[in-house]
Structure 1
Amino acid sequence: MTPHEVLIPFRDGVRAQPDAVRATVGRTTDWLAERASTPRPAGVLLAGIGASHAVLAAPVRELRRGGVPAFRSTGDDLPPGSPVPADLTVAVSQSGRSPETLDAATRGPRSLAVVNQPASPLASATDDVLFLGGLVDSGMSSVAVAATAVALGMLVEHRVDGAVSETWQRLPDALHAVLDDAATARALAGFASRAAGLGCVDVVGRAASAGAAEQGALLLREGPKVPSLGATTRTYLHGMTDAVGRVAHVLVGGGREAALGAQLAEHDVPVLLVTDEDVAVPAGVGAVRLPTLPPLAAVVTEVAVLQLLALELGSVLGTDVDAGVLTRVDTKVTTDVVGGADR
């Protein structure tokens, strides 16, 4: 956060997301229209840290589905002085001050910044900027992360399919429905009341929901201060499941995740399935039903459920989800402000 950023409580940020998504859809639509003749990249590196890195998972997967070589990086895997392995770097940082992302942006032939804060070092260092509008956000990001996911999703869809679909116009209403759903609130409350006793929650997602799993784990650590792991289902099945009995589990996906939930529930641990598929919910497993959306948009509603879970766990545990613990000493290119997420 910079001294000029206005912080709102995380709970308020969660509720503000539908309006922010609607504004971002309009802004990104205009941005794309103004750049109709921009050359299309042969390969793309998407760079970000923390929550920004998490929301890059679905864009990378969809670019690859469309035949575009794409990678995501936190910067740790780019040795000093090494070239960026793509002709376009999309550098994502809501603050525009993450040093790893800034460094990655300066290495490749072309660069685009996706930022929320104006006049940021990242915006100044790149060839082009998609500005999210200086959205008012919470310290544990809610509004700006949703806007980032939408902007990236629309950029990728336009690149892969040649146009932007009507999905984005419908997304604010779908997000409202998720945030206001009474059945979702009951499922989260029941899960949180049991999970609080274990004190550890793993968040697992199918391949298309990898970003939601990663962001969910970050939210639970940063908000209610609950130890949490984020992993894809296939990775989780290769040994990580052996801690069963001592961990609560959130599974984001469909049939494979439901089958895993049935196995985990046999050990009398809290299991929550977050799904947009018509799957049978196993005995002993709680469930949240989501609207069916393409992967690039679905991450917004998936993360919204995990935000609500972070709030519910914070309430059960009596934890201030807006309070930081450690001072971030080197996560921004300026050090006059401390605290806040790596974004």
Structure 2
Amino acid sequence: MNADLFLADLEDKPARLRALAAAVTGSWAATDTDRPILLFGMGSSHYANGVAAARLRAGGRPAVAELASTDLLPRVPPGALVVAVSASGGSAETLDAVRTSRAQFARSQGARTQETPATFVALTNRADGELASLCDVTVPMLAGDERGGVACRSFQHTLAVLLSLPGAGLDPATVTRAAEATEDLLARRDAWLPRVSELLLGPDGTHVVAPARRLSSAQQSALMLREGPRLPAVGCETGDWSHVDVYLTKTTDYRLLLLAGSRWEPELLRWTAERASTVVAVGADTAGAAYTLRYRHDDIDDVRLLTETLVAELVAAEAWRRRL
């Protein structure tokens, strides 16, 4: 892993997103997607899978996201679409989940040869990787080689490709707008990054919240702070925060990155104001925030989804480089 190359990977996001925008509508053209969907992945892949599955269910499509490491793998029904996500194509747990699920399906199908077989899809950056060899179809992420060793671009690309599934509701033009939003944040970082870093990186770590429909943004943002500079960070859903995280505002120097857009924010902001916690808001003007960061197209929720993790990623990159 390399801090300077991680920063270079982030700076390459706009160009990679523009290339993805030109291709994303054709991602599933060779695959019959009108079937129940099961998503496997680990880490940031699972974060993206969780949001995609929720979006598909909200659109009336049966879809489930499971950690590939679970000992309670769902039984794959006939005709299902199993999407295994791994940027490297080599995540051990994801490979094992595919092998196990294929074997279980073969045993359960037995002599019932009239049943429609399940289709296994590898969503990966490595068409030549082991995951692709285990699956029937490969769908490319088009995130490119992440030379810093951190899955940053592949996270956004996984989201965009999964949300291009029929029923998930992604407007393909959103990917281009996300490229423009990302470019805007990068171009203005000298103006906002030092202050945001100062506010968020406290002695007791950093907390990140996002609405349930964008929970992956909070999870990925916290992961970026843990993975690169090895700083303590936790992601949480905005409404659930009042049930599981609020307690720390009483006893710690609480620093919160608020990824805006939840209808449950007023309760959170009441507690943070009463206890003088530090809040940095991203994506909407927020009363009581010590700093509010806006960017191009942040009034579009799916642009937020594909863009907002860049804030924590850049904070992580600079903190990582300073620690070297």
TM-score, normalization: structure 1? Answer: 0.78
* Counterpart AA for 1:202: H
Q: Give the 3-state SS of the residue equivalent to 1:67 in structure 2.
A: coil
- Go from structure 1 to structure 2 and tell me whether the alpha carbon gap of 1:118 and 1:223 turns closer, same or farther (over 3 Å shift): same
Residue matched to 2:53? 60
Q: Deviations over 1:189-214 (max 9, x none)?
A: 22322443424111111111200001
Which of 271, 287, 290 is 1:263 aligned to?
Answer: 271
Matched, 1:145 2:151: no
Which of 182, 186, 200 is 1:175 aligned to?
Answer: 182
Residue matched to 2:281? 273
Matched, 1:110 2:119: yes
Matched, 1:241 2:246: yes
- Go from structure 1 to structure 2 and tell me whether the alpha carbon gap of 1:66 and 1:197 turns closer, same or farther (over 3 Å shift): closer
Q: Deviations over 1:276-299 (max 9, x none)?
A: x4x5x2235321224236555432
**1:16-35 equivalences in 2 (<5 Å):** 16-32=12-28, 34-35=29-30
**1:81-92 equivalences in 2 (<5 Å):** 83-84=75-76, 87-92=80-85
Q: Deviations over 1:286-322 (max 9, x none)?
A: 212242365554322111122122124445xx324xx
- Mapped contact 1:261–1:285 kept (Cα < 8 A): no
**1:89-100 equivalences in 2 (<5 Å):** 89-100=82-93
| Gap regions ≥5 residues in structure 2 | 103-117
Q: Deviations over 1:36-89 (max 9, x none)?
A: xx4333321111111111222321121011101212111233437x62368111
Residue matched to 1:218? 223
Q: Give the 3-state SS of the residue equivalent to 1:53 in structure 2.
A: helix
Whole-angstrom distance in 2 between the partners of 1:298 and 1:210: 12
Whole-angstrom distance in 2 between the partners of 1:286 and 1:97: 40
- Go from structure 1 to structure 2 and tell me whether the alpha carbon gap of 1:59 and 1:100 turns closer, same or farther (over 3 Å shift): same
Residue matched to 1:45? 38
Whole-angstrom distance in 2 between the partners of 1:282 and 1:66: 33
How far off is 1:29 after superposition? 3.0
Identical-pair percentage? 26
Q: Deviations over 1:138-167 (max 9, x none)?
A: 21222322322222222x3x3445x85422
Q: Deviations over 1:121-144 (max 9, x none)?
A: 110111111123471212122232
TM-score, normalization: structure 2? Answer: 0.82
Whole-angstrom distance in 1 between the partners of 2:242 and 2:35: 34
Q: Deviations over 1:89-109 (max 9, x none)?
A: 111100011122123334162
- Mapped contact 1:202–1:217 kept (Cα < 8 A): yes
Residue matched to 1:337? none
Instruction: Give the total of aligned pairs.
Output: 302
- Mapped contact 1:18–1:175 kept (Cα < 8 A): yes
- Mapped contact 2:89–2:132 kept (Cα < 8 A): yes
Whole-angstrom distance in 2 between the partners of 1:96 and 1:25: 22
Matched, 1:298 2:308: no
Q: Give the 3-state SS of the residue equivalent to 1:230 in structure 2.
A: strand
Which of 184, 192, 201 is 1:196 aligned to?
Answer: 201
Whole-angstrom distance in 2 between the partners of 1:203 and 1:139: 23
Whole-angstrom distance in 2 between the partners of 1:242 and 1:103: 38
- Mapped contact 2:217–2:308 kept (Cα < 8 A): yes
Residue matched to 2:323? 319
Residue matched to 2:105? none
Whole-angstrom distance in 2 between the partners of 1:41 and 1:294: 28
Matched, 1:119 2:128: yes
